[in-house]
Structure 1
Amino acid sequence: MVQIKVTWVDGADREVPLPTYQTAGAAGADVRANLLHGAVTLQPGARALVPTGFQIEIPEGYEVQVRPRSGLALKHGIMLVNSPGTIDSDYRGPVGVILLNAGEGAFVVTHGMRIAQLVVAPVVRGRFEISQQLSETARGVGGFGSTGGD
């Protein structure tokens, strides 16, 4: 288990639960909206940065991925614009979630609502270097949709 330190943002409602795993097998911890100044209404096609009310300290060698909640996506068309979002280990600012309403009707984000999930993941860094040639594969340069099927 990796320890993630958490502090409250000034003015946040400390009664809103911090990220919480809902089941023993959950990979993501649900994160909630911390909206002291009222709900946020997302019209179809609109997006908004929704505050969570906390900041985190992630150990070096890890990231926290911000992912959508499947129930919000299926029932309301609510998704994350940059999914998955990444919180780097050297970031110490407030955690926010960029929600997008891809649904057909307005969606209201309320105070304390579960809006996303956080997944802690190890980071493997690569070294990018110029090469005169790349190895060949059966796929080659085939891009989007080149592997067949739907």
Structure 2
Amino acid sequence: MTQITLAWTDEADQSLPLPAYQTDGAAGADLRANLPEASRRTGIALGPGERALIPTGLRLAIPEGHEIQIRPRSGLALRHGLILPNAPGTIDSDYRGPLGVIVMNLGAEAFSIEHGLRIAQMVLAPVLRASFVVSASLDDTPRGSGGFGSTGTT
């Protein structure tokens, strides 16, 4: 098992649980909204179409050769239209700043992000790096240069 070292940000509510896998088979560990003290009682209201950067109160040390992917929680998306517009978001192994989650409300109703709400999940993933070489031509494939919709609709 790969270890991720966490540190609280200065303003974090350290009584909230750390990221956790909710079941033995879960790929993602849930992240919680760790709101600024002034917003903890009221939450952060997101109207339809609005987005906000929600703090988690955490900083991470991700091992080299890995990334953390930030993904939406399906229940929030289905029931409330809450999505992560840049999903999956990537946290690079050399980033040590505060971890925030960009959340957007695609629902028809306003949604309040409450302090401690499980707002996203993070997945640890290996990273492969490439070298890039320019060539005058590329090898041919059956698909060739066919783009969007070129493989059919069924």
TM-score by length of 1: 0.97
- 5+ residue gaps, structure 1: none
After the TM superposition, which segments of 4 or more aligned residues of structure 1 sit over 6 Å from their partners?
A: none
Aligned equivalent of 2:38:
37
2:38 partner amino acid = H
2:14 partner amino acid = R
Aligned equivalent of 2:80:
76
Deviations 1:3-34 (A, max 9, x none): 00000000210011111000000000000000
How many angstroms apart in 1 are the aligned matches of 2:34 and 2:130?
Answer: 36
Aligned-partner SS, 2:38: coil
Aligned with residue 141 of structure 1, among 142, 145, 154: 145
1:37 partner amino acid = A
TM-score by length of 2: 0.95
Aligned with residue 56 of structure 1, among 35, 42, 60: 60
Calculate percent identity across the aligned residue pairs.
Answer: 61
1:27 partner amino acid = A
Aligned equivalent of 1:125:
129
1:138 partner amino acid = P
1:85 partner amino acid = G
How many residues align? The count is: 150
**How far apart are residue 37 of structure 1 and its match?**
2.3
- 5+ residue gaps, structure 2: none
How many angstroms apart in 1 are the aligned matches of 2:149 and 2:49?
Answer: 27
Greater Cα shift, 139-148 or 70-79: 139-148
